[in-house]
Every structure is written in C-alpha cells, then in structure tokens.
Structure 1
Amino acid sequence: MARKKEFDPEERMEKARDLFWEKGYNATSMEDLVQTMGLNRGSIYDTYGDKHSLYLQCLGNYAAEKLKEHKEAASGTSPMERVENMIRSAVEATVNTGKCCMAVNSTFELAAVDQSVHSIIKNNWKDIVDFFEQLLTDAKAQGEISADKDPKLLAEFIAANFTGLWQTFILSRDKKQVEKLAQFLIDMVKN
C-alpha cells in the first residue's frame, strides 16, 4: 500500500515553479529544488519525476494560471473594453512582480531546443490568441474597430507585443513608459 504524502504536491510544485521562473531551467539545480521545495530528492522524483518532468508540470501550471488570469481580467461592458483591460492587466502584473512572463522566458531559453516546452508554450499562445480573436471579432461586429481589420492578425499582434512590453519594463523599470506603450498598442488596435 502506498504511503500517503505528508505534503501538498501542488503547493510544493508552485515553489518549484517560482524558482524556475526566477532562475530559468538551466540555472536551477536539483539542490536548488531540494532546498526550495523542502523535499528530499527521492520525494521529488517519486512525485514529479526528474527535473525536466517537474519543469514541464510547472510550465503547464503557469500557462493555465495565466490564461485564467487573462480571462478574468477581460471584464467590461464591451468587447474592446475587455481587450483593453486584458492588456492593462498584463502590464500591471509585470510592474507589480518585476518579472517577465515565465512562458516568454521559457520560449527564449528552451522552446527552440525542447519540443515538450515548445508544445506547452505554443498551445498557451494559441489559447491566448484565440481568446483575443473572439473578443476582437465581437468588437468588429459592434463597430468598435474598423471593418477592414483582421481580428486574428490583431490578436496575434497584441500577444506578440506583450513580449515587448515585458522586455521594456525589465530593462527600464519605467512603469509610466510601459503604460504609454500599452496605450499606444490599444490605440493602434482601435484605429
């Protein structure tokens, strides 16, 4: 009979996720994980598998959580207001945490060489773009954006610009500049 775990696997995975988010996959050692998670190696391997398997679980957890946050931020009375609130929420999250998106970090660190990481990030990207596209399709139908605009292309444009907004803040730490860029992005979508 298997022993009952004396720890919350989800809680410990979130600790590992935060460590990977801070340091990246390659700079995080198993010893770092042991210390951060408060578990011995055997418990980590038994519960999550090897470091790579744990990383994939952490990245999947992060992607699902961020998609949920984006959807929750999409509040408002009109589709375009919902898009604007999502953009502003993404900026605010970066400014408040001082960190770039873990998925973006993972894209540059691993997605080109690790098919599993690539797949998680690509699926998350598609989910975000699809959500924006639906909102922008609705905005177009309601006359909030020009009839000649392509909602899918605009959705991809917004998602691609998130990376630039995060990079700008990480490099400059200038909240007002990033907020101006976010407003410029919103204005480009609307006009």
Structure 2
Amino acid sequence: MARHKEFEVNEVLDKAIQLFWMQGYEKTSMQELVEYMGIHRRSIYDTFGDKHALYMCALKRYADIQSNKMSLLVERQEPVKEILRHFLETTLEKEGDPQGCLLVNSGVELGLLDQEVSSFVEDSYSKTEKLLYNLILAGQQTGEIEAKLDPEALSHYFMNAWLGLRTMVKTATNQEKLSGVMITTLSILD
C-alpha cells in the first residue's frame, strides 16, 4: 500500500529554494536539506530524486514564481517606463528573501560545470529578455520610448543592468549607489 505524503510539495520545495539560495548548491548537503525541509531523506528521494534533481525542481519553482511576479508587473495599467522602473526596483526590495537571485547564483556557481543548470538559466534569461523586448516595443508604439532606439539592444541592456543589480545587492550596503545605478539605467530611455 502506498504511503500518503505528510507534507505539501511546494511548501518543502520553497524551503529547499531558501537553503540553496542562501548557501548555493555545492555547500548544501543532503543532511542540511533534510533538516531544513523538515522531511525524511527517503521522502526527498521518493518525491524529487537525488540532490541535483531536487535542485532542478527548486530552480523551476523559483523561475515560475519570478515569472508570475513579472507577469503581474506587466499587467499593470501603467506607463511602460513605470513598469521598467518597478522591474528594477524589485531587485532592491527583498523582504525576507536572501539577497540576490537564485538563478543568477546558479549561473555563476554552476554555469560552466553543469549543462542542465546552464541551459535552464539561459532559457530563463531569454524569457525575461523577450518580456523586456515586448515592453520596450509597446513603449515605442505608444510614443513613451523613442522609436529610433533599437528595442533588441535595449532589452539586452536592461537585462544586463538587471542582472548586475541582482548581483550587486548581495554585497552592496550603499542603497544610494544601487538606486543611482537604477536611475542611470532608466535614463537611457530619455
């Protein structure tokens, strides 16, 4: 007879996200995952697979959560420049979460060592760039953003700036400096 799961999968997966986000993949042991997630080792293996499979599940859930947040941001009935400002500001406002970004951390830690992680991170980045491209194009169509600016180049630029901010927040203590980077990034649209 199959045993009934005594935990909600997304709840324990969210705990794995937090631990991987704080410590990284290599530094996080299975025993730490067992303790932090609050479930048995066998349950982790039965539900998610090995540590790497759990990590990939955590990355996917994290990316889905971030994608949903971005979709909500885009759905706002605000000018495109305001949406882009909010997009950058979300990087500076991390209430309760570790600093930085799990996807960025994963790309930096494992990008050259793990093809599956590298492909997943690259795919996530591509989706965000496409979202930025569509926002910039919409802004050009409404006249908010100069039509002569290259929307593809701008989407690459904003992606780079956003990733840079997501990296800087891990070590920067000067909020004025981070805000200045954001303001300078947005000024390219003027």
State the TM-score bracket (shorter-chain normalisation).
Answer: over 0.9
Per-residue deviation, 1:96: 6.5
Q: CA deviation at 1:119?
A: 1.8
With normalisation by structure 2, the TM-score equals 0.92
8 Å contact from structure 2 (residues 130, 155) kept in 1:
yes
Residues 76 and 174 of structure 1: CA distance in aligned 2, closer, same or farther (over 3 Å) = farther
Alpha carbon RMSD of aligned pairs, Å? Answer: 1.6
Q: 1:63-142 alignment to 2 at 5 Å?
A: 63-74=63-74, 75-93=76-94, 97=97, 99-142=99-142
Q: 1:16 to 1:31 in 2, by over 3 A?
A: same
Contact persistence 2:101–2:167 (CA under 8 A): no
Asked whether 1:165 is paired with 2:165, we answer: yes
C-alpha displacement at 1:97, in angstroms? 3.9
Do 2:100 and 2:168's aligned partners in 1 also have CA atoms closer than 8 Å?
no
Deviation digits for residues 138-170 of structure 1, max 9, x if unmatched? 111122222221112211211111122133332
1 or 2, which has the higher helix percentage? 1
Partner of 1:21: 21
- Specify every segment of 5 or more residues in structure 2 that has no aligned partner in the other structure, as ranges: none
The one-character-per-residue Cα deviations of 1:44-82 (angstroms, maximum 9, x if unpaired) are 101110000000000111111112112223334222222
Structure 1 Cα separation of the partners of residues 109 and 149 of structure 2 = 34
Contact 2:80 2:138 in 1 (8 A): yes
Aligned-partner Cα distance in 2 for 1:98–1:113 = 24
What TM-score comes out, normalization by structure 1 length? Answer: 0.92
Q: Which runs of 5+ in 1 are unaligned?
A: none
Does residue 180 (structure 1) correspond to residue 162 (structure 2)? The answer is: no
Counterpart-to-counterpart distance in 2, 1:68 and 1:123: 16
Q: Which residue type is aligned with residue 86 of structure 1?
A: F
Native 8 Å contact 1:71 1:86 kept in 2 = no
Q: Residues 162-185 of structure 1, C-alpha deviation per residue, up to 9 Å, x if partnerless?
A: 122133332221112111110110
Comparing 15-24 and 114-123, the one that deviates more: 114-123
